[in-house]
Amino acid sequence: MAIQILPELVVAQIAAGEVVERPASVVKELVENALDAGARNIRIEITGGGRHRIRISDDGSGIPQEETELAFYRHATSKLRSTEDLTNINTLGFRGEALASIASVSQLSVVSRHVESQMGTLLHLEGGQVVRRQHVGAPVGTVLTVENLFYNTPARLKFLKKENTEKRQIALFVTRYAMAYPHVHFTLEQDGREVFRSSGSGQLADVLVGALGLDSFRNMVEVSGKELAREGRPEIHVLGYTSVPSLHRSDRNHITLFVNGRWIQDPRLSYAVTQAYHTFLMTGRYPVAVLMLQLPPSEVDVNVHPTKAEVRFRDTDAVFTAVQRAVRRAVVDLAQTPAMRGGRGLSLAHGILPHWSTELPADRQTQLDMNLNIQDSGQYTRGRLLNRDVNNDWNDPTSIPAGPEAPLKPRTLPILRVVGQVGATYIIAEGPSGLYLVDQHAAHERILYEQFMEEYGKQQPIAQYTLTAQTIHLPPTEARLVEENLQVLQTVGFDLESFGPNTFIVRSVPALLADEAPMDVLGGIIADLEAGEKPGQGTIEDKIITRVCKQAAIKAGQILSLDEMQSIIRQLERCRSPHTCPHGRPTMLHMSSEQLAHEFGRLG
């Protein structure tokens, strides 16, 4: 095949593949243009997850009439003049590729009036080609509408995610820019329904309440750090909010970073935030943080990635140190200590136990009524324990006692006798071959999981209808995630009904959770769904069921009666996989009679 120069349209569509990956990419680029134009009000309207239509209106400075068509040429920009300008970029956009790339893969129309013009301009393009242009009356600003995205590139259209997934990504981008520009009033409307609005008050705290939820924001502290310029190092400001140690997540995706108003992805800086919590968080848990870094533009190179999501610092160590110190100082200087109140986060209160205390609060020092099915008391005489010949099934883990009270499942553990409880966490039991130390939470979680799965497999009713209608309000991104999984949630007992922007009515919950607050349970489920890829519906259902059982199981620190402990042991003996909880953590430790004798020097 002969070498030839590609047509301009093909070149534009290739470039669009780097800049416009999905509808959220279009929203990002157009919102950045609006912010660069000095907009104070930005409205984003989405239809069909962004595939059918994206409309973004702003009250910025607008585009001059004579430059409207030029704005859609490749590499046409008002933000750069020479290569030297690349070392001192003060705007979000600068390459002049976004509008041309978006126009080449959509049907686009723009109405814009410059602040110094008396009339506006209407321009309509299809596949990057201008098909209509006229003068129109319009307010100062720009309204840009993108319709039928990827209509002329069906291969790209095929790889788009589900509609709700695209909605969630768009909500994520909008809330990020609302955080970075709290003085701008953002409104996001999806399919005719408003899902997010920021006040434009200039206060980051106001935006975080809407973006993260009030419960999360109550458990965040302000970060304010400043590293003075010295020895060739720049002055660096670190501002924002970070969570108290008791509010954490299972991945780093909830650490949001901005550099000079630009959202970035930087694993090294995320690690700096995590390191600031050294000794405060368990391994594998990460904080929630929203941090703004301000430093001279000449100290950061933003021209290293097609989407400008990654940057390179002139002095990476200085930025790392500034972030780590600022966050660490905010966490260490906490004047209040977190108190457990349940749910995804912890509220702040005075005069309570320090987080390192092992003493139980007064409301946790009572025995728990678990409504467990107690099959027998488990209190055997010493004669029965020693006379193993009389009880031939003692050493036979598969034997099933006869009679009307006989359990239906085969035994997978030998018969165990409860001796007591240690640390209000572990059940001590004696078996035919030694000592067993059982984690009461892990064991109860395994029992509930197998019961739930058995009922689920038989399609038996597993839901408990609420006596009164309860509503829950979620941040926009989490609301989209719940909408995406409404059907799966319903199959395991959660019946949720949309009730206004980001609000749901809880009609029913799994019967196991009848006494739990719906938000406490759903919060954990949402965190699980947010973490990692979900390859299939079966995997999602199993994840939700596992979370439900974890929430319903008795917790470490709860004092149990002898009957309750024996009931747990009896039911664990009949589980198919009694040795681990659904997460793979061991339910028990075993020390054989020989090991005990060896430890006490009784061998030989």
**CATH assignment of the domain containing 92:** 3.30.565.10
Instruction: Dump pLDDT digits (tens) for 59-98.
Output: 999 999 888 888 888 777 776 556 665 666 777 866 678 8
**CATH assignment of the domain containing 341:** 3.30.230.10
**Mean pLDDT to the nearest integer, 559-585:** 86
**CATH assignment of the domain containing 555:** 3.30.1540.20
DSSP 8-state assignment for residue 243: E
Confidence tier at 505 by pLDDT (50, 70, 90)? confident
**Mean pLDDT to the nearest integer, 416-442:** 89
597 touches 445 (CB < 8 A) = no
Does the pLDDT at position 120 exceed 80? yes
Of 180, 201, 222, which marks where a domain is finished?
Answer: 201
205 touches 216 (CB < 8 A) = no
Same domain (yes/no): 184, 295: no
| Residue 391, domain member (yes or no) | yes
Give residues with Cβ within 8 angstroms of 47, minimum separation 6. Answer: 53, 54, 190, 191
Q: At 430, which helix (H) or strand (E)?
A: strand 426-431
Q: How many structural domains are present in the chain?
A: 3
Confidence tier at 127 by pLDDT (50, 70, 90)? confident
Please give the residue range of the domain that contains residue 291: 213-349
Considering the entire predicted model, what is its pTM?
Answer: 0.65
Instruction: Dump pLDDT digits (tens) for 4-57.
Output: 776 766 665 555 555 688 899 899 999 999 999 999 999 999 999 899 999 999
Same domain (yes/no): 188, 242: no
Q: Rounded to whole angstroms, how far apart are CA atoms 204 and 183?
A: 9
Same domain (yes/no): 487, 410: yes
DSSP 8-state assignment for residue 235: P
Tokens found for residue 199: 């006040």
| Residue 469, domain member (yes or no) | yes
| Residue 355, domain member (yes or no) | no
pLDDT of the residue at 112: 94
> pLDDT over 70 for what percent of the chain?
75
Instruction: Dump pLDDT digits (tens) for 243-263.
Output: 988 888 888 889 999 999 989
Instruction: Dump pLDDT digits (tens) for 185-207.
Output: 999 999 988 999 999 999 999 99
Amino acid at position 176, single letter: R
pLDDT of the residue at 429: 92
Mean pLDDT, all residues of the chain = 78
Of 349, 381, 403, which marks where a domain is finished?
Answer: 349
Same domain (yes/no): 217, 190: no
238 touches 292 (CB < 8 A) = yes
484 touches 492 (CB < 8 A) = no
First to last CA, the chain: 86
Same domain (yes/no): 380, 502: yes
